[in-house]
Structure 1
């Protein structure tokens, strides 16, 4: 990948053999063979190295559909801060290989009923992965060493580490000056580097995380909307309502009513 990719989906990777390394929001993660791995692809991600990989499976799930599946809030929280979640059950690997090949075959047919079956099977697999993955509390604050500046880092590397800093800290007020300081850049230059690297502004990236967090909480908790909004980092209810409607096309109340089961 010549430059980082970014899309509003959950991405699942599975390697039959070999290994590859992603730079995910400024941190490197290694994908091992025969281990189903998922991450939030809205974070800038880029394959930086690979070994012995002839081909591999990639599944993408629209983020709003993924939220409707009702996976544990701890899983959603880990994904939102840039963690990858991988299967650790060796007995599951052969089953995953069979499932992925079947899904690939089924989705090549225009049978709507078969497509629904694939989605149900995929949902069930993600629920099993959520149960088996060893998850501690998601990282919080700005003490992650991955976002500390490295000497002589390229502008792209610094942009990736800014993305990671945002993922870790979006729930609090984070001035652009703080984000720039995390990679030792002037705020104006940091804003330019980030926009040129990822095609969005720093503020837009912060908003993306906050709206995603709110969507997750609306569907997985009974918290009042105002508490969810402030908890995600929005500083006023009017700003939150305006931003949420612009991002999703509906009010928070309508979103919860339409998508929550």
Structure 2
């Protein structure tokens, strides 16, 4: 069975979550250039409207809290009623909350799990029945290179991103026979507000605009994983392929967490 084909603008509309800032905001311009009509979602209605106003007739605001599965289902239904089938969905919404392992905050864990994992699941549940019935569609789940293995201050974020990678792999296995193309994005460091709380080195960090361009290029292909910058993400893959005792010690040293506490 041949691989499902990437969606095209002629197939329907693109739905983009987490569109109000960072990678999501940067994706809008590139998707418009490719000819897509885009339904953009986030919680901030004012920000979404301001972005949509820049592209009249091409970008449409659909504010929603993705942790509310009923609201997500209504939003997906409304988008399809207004603009036709969702041919491509980019599940980009997410939060990064730095966790101090010595003094962790349970609410930070809970919010991270709710937005990053529960939110993605709500979107998946609303989308896959429609796409399977149509025997077509593309779902792109934005994970992170932190999915490859543990990183300091990322015990909540990394756990959710590893969960998203696993979720995407499972969907790719199951939905292939329905002609639904599943992809997962595993970027390294991207210069967004989420990085402001990270005080350890961020090698090979790219701009949100560069990240958006790499994602758009990858979405036009049939491959499962979109990862960049490869000189960083592939090096991480090699590190995390080492026995766990080795890679834990190596990451601890490289990030400075091998030093005694002050």
Same fold (TM over 0.5): no
Name the TM-score class by shorter chain: under 0.3
